[in-house]
């Protein structure tokens, strides 16, 4: 489960966290050796010869705060050049990093029967290890995250490919152990890993509602390797039943704190096989709701799970987050258009800080995903809030039929927050129109040295013939890398679309509002020159509920030198750009290779 995370830190909170870190300096600048030691039946990680029990969280929020709370480890879901600054920061803070190489998923179109594709993945994994193996922040390598899918997890070809990655890693980097991460341990996951992956040292496990029983279930499944829980938190949306309006009830942040602690304690008691745990997510993420898995609010405010784990990690916070009870609805959750609704709020603060509350009504997600893919933020309805305070809220439901969710965010003014929400449904009325796209902040980089909200997820045509290397260091136009594209066959056709969010084809809320942009610019060059490529933006047509409002394409013949291209969008309707950039090509009688760099809307 992973997507991009966004979190800011208030100045006061940052200063408080820094104060807790005084004197925590790390001197070494070379790779720090990490080993696995077994004494009797007990496994232990040793970092620089000293015991290292993993106490961590994964996500993009403040690493300063993580260290201040006693966290010593984080993980990534990618190993590109973009993680460099994060590794540097973690090293300075004394945080070790499990570097994750993202192995493609079959549900996204990857074919483990295609040996050329598999060989390419092994080569890219090797390149990632070579790139970061000497960085002192590296704790271990994690090859893949839930790449086995959500069935039995018994694809032998996939496991053998993971073994190839791990074996190569050990050859070139004997200083760091290897692991792979699965979605729970059901089916044949444990059996297949132990049978086909002798070079994998540690089994990483993502688990939610059933995580406290992992120690027993792992052994029952035949697990003998040491393991680490690499994602845990509240019960997942997919693990809870729906109520009478087809919605899932989200726990409050107070309830979630108890879930995090219960899981942490259960794993900590397994001193023999469990090497530690990584909580999810250290930041905020839209997944079914805006708050389900987020431990930290988008403004940087902590919630109760952070405080609870800080206590377990040995550095309890001085000022705790507010407590909050489930919202109490007066009357029915099945409503008429324009109905008036009363909802009561009960909240408190251990330090008696002056509290404030923010009320918001948002659309409910049209589909509840189970794969952790990035989702677009859902629109809110500010005019629905008639009046609200710390005792409750009065709201007037929208005129459109559909599901909604009411949120209460309580803050203590000291960096702490609490959240509760409640689902509601308007039973009649006109269908809800497509929601406006979220406003994008210009410039938006699609290919470059920084991260992008657009993801190269739309592989079309003969996708098996496409290879994409986003970290190619062969003559980049700017910075240290560019994107290398290869189409490995002479016939057929193929292409890749950069989408927001990933795999967005217009069926549900997607795209960004790029109003204010005047052009899309990009640089391209061919491997030898003469390559015929069509570049464009706007792939989703008006036949979809959500569609690109701006569409333009250009067929070019590349030279071997970098050339700048531009789509003029001045005065155009950019209110929803789903397909930020794409390329397509037809077979040209031989394989085709070309390069892209500095692709951006500005």
User: Tell me, what CATH number does 137's domain have?
Assistant: 3.20.20.80
Handedness of CA 163, 164, 169, 170 (dihedral sign): positive
State residue 13's pLDDT score: 35
556 three-class SS: strand
Answer yes or no: do 308 and 343 share one domain. no
State residue 270's pLDDT score: 98
CA 305 to chain CA mean position, Å? 19
Answer yes or no: do 398 and 453 share one domain. no
Name the residue range of residue 79's domain: 42-236+245-312
Answer yes or no: do 406 and 500 share one domain. no
State residue 378's pLDDT score: 84
Q: Does 77 reside within a domain?
A: yes
CA 495 to chain CA mean position, Å? 24
State residue 371's pLDDT score: 60
CA atoms lying within 13 Å on the CB side of residue 474:
16
Q: Do you find a cis peptide bond into 112, omega within 30 degrees of 0? A: no
Per the structure, how many domains does the chain have? 3
The answer to whether 426 and 379 are in contact (CB under 8 A) is no
CA distances from 8 to 12, 284, 300 (A): 12, 10, 5
State residue 8's pLDDT score: 28
Answer yes or no: do 176 and 213 share one domain. yes
Answer yes or no: do 280 and 156 share one domain. yes
CA distances from 577 to 76, 439, 564 (A): 28, 10, 22
Beginning with the edge strand found earlier in the chain, give each strand of the sheet holding 493-499 in spatial order.
455-461, 493-499, 579-586, 532-537, 552-557
Answer yes or no: do 331 and 182 share one domain. no
Q: Quick one: tokens of 493?
A: 């056709």
Q: Which of 245, 134, 263 is nearest to 207 (CA)?
A: 263
Bridge partner list, 411: 356, 417
User: Tell me, what CATH number does 372's domain have?
Assistant: 2.60.40.1930
Answer yes or no: do 496 and 544 share one domain. yes
Distance, in Å, from the CA atom of 72 to the CA atom of 93, rounded to the nearest integer, reads 9
* Exposed/middle/buried for residue 443 (C-beta within 10 Å: 0-12, 13-18, 19+): middle
pLDDT less than 70: residues of the chain: 1-28, 367-374
State residue 3's pLDDT score: 33
Answer yes or no: do 89 and 171 share one domain. yes
Residue that finishes a domain, picked among 398, 426, 454: 426
Answer yes or no: do 101 and 210 share one domain. yes
User: Tell me, what CATH number does 475's domain have?
Assistant: 2.60.120.430
Residue that finishes a domain, picked among 426, 452, 486: 426
State residue 71's pLDDT score: 98
Residue that finishes a domain, picked among 426, 453, 471: 426
Q: Does 2 reside within a domain?
A: no
Q: Does 26 reside within a domain?
A: no
Answer yes or no: do 389 and 500 share one domain. no
The answer to whether 144 and 181 are in contact (CB under 8 A) is yes
Q: Does 121 reside within a domain?
A: yes
């Amino acid at each position: 489960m992973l997507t991009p995370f966004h979190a800011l830190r208030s100045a006061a909170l940052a200063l408080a966290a820094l104060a807790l870190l005084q004197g925590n300096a790390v001197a070494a600048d070379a790779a720090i050796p990490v080993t696995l030691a077994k004494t009797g039946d007990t496994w232990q990680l040793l970092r620089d010869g000293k015991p290292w029990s993993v106490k961590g969280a994964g996500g993009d929020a403040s690493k300063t705060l993580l260290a201040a709370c006693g966290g010593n480890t984080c993980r990534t879901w990618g190993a590109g050049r973009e993680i460099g600054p994060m590794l540097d920061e973690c090293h300075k803070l004394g945080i070790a990093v499990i570097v994750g190489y993202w192995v493609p998923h079959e549900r996204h179109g990857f074919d483990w029967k295609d040996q050329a594709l598999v060989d390419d993945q092994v080569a890219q994994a090797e390149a990632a290890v070579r790139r970061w193996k000497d960085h002192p922040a590296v704790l271990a390598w994690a090859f893949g995250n839930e790449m086995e899918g959500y069935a039995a997890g018994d694809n032998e070809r996939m496991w053998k490919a993971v073994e190839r990655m791990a074996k190569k890693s050990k050859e070139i980097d004997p200083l760091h152990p290897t692991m792979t991460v699965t979605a729970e341990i059901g089916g044949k996951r444990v059996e297949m890993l132990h049978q086909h992956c002798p070079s994998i040292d540690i089994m990483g496990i993502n688990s939610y509602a059933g995580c406290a029983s992992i120690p027993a279930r792992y052994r029952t499944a035949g697990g003998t390797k040491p393991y680490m829980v690499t994602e845990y938190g509240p019960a997942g949306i997919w693990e809870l039943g729906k109520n009478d309006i087809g919605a899932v009830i989200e726990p409050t942040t107070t309830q979630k704190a108890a879930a995090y602690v219960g899981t942490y304690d259960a794993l900590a008691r397994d001193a023999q096989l469990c090497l530690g745990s990584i909580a999810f997510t250290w930041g905020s993420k839209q997944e079914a709701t805006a708050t389900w898995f987020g431990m930290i609010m988008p403004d940087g405010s902590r919630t109760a799970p952070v405080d609870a784990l800080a206590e377990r990690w040995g550095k309890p916070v001085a000022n705790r987050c507010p407590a909050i009870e489930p919202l109490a609805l007066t009357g029915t959750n099945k409503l008429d258009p324009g109905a008036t609704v009363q909802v009561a709020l009960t909240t408190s603060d251990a330090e008696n800080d002056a509290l404030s509350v923010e009320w918001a009504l948002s659309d409910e997600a049209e589909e509840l995903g189970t794969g952790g893919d990035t989702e677009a933020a859902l629109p809110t309805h500010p005019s629905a809030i008639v009046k609200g305070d710390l005792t409750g809220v009065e709201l007037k439901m929208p005129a459109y039929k559909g599901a909604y969710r009411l949120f209460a965010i309580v803050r203590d003014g000291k960096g702490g927050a609490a959240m509760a929400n409640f689902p509601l449904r308007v039973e009649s009325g006109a269908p809800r129109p497509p929601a406006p796209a979220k406003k994008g902040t210009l410039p938006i980089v699609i290919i470059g040295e920084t991260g992008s909200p657009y993801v190269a997820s739309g592989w079309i045509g003969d996708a098996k013939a496409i290879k994409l290397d986003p970290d190619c260091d062969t003559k980049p136009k700017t910075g240290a890398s560019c994107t290398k594209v290869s189409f490995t066959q002479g016939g057929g056709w193929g292409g890749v679309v950069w989408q927001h969010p990933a795999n967005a084809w217009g069926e549900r809320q997607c795209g960004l509002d790029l109003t204010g942009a005047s052009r899309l610019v990009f640089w391209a060059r061919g491997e030898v020159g003469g390559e015929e490529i069509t570049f464009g933006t706007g792939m989703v047509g008006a036949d979809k509920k959500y569609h690109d409002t701006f569409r333009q394409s250009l067929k070019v013949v590349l030279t071997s030198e970098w050339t700048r291209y531009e789509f003029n969008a001045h005065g155009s309707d950019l209110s929803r750009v789903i397909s930020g950039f794409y390329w397509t090509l037809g077979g040209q009688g031989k394989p085709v290779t070309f390069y892209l760099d500095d692709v951006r809307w500005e």
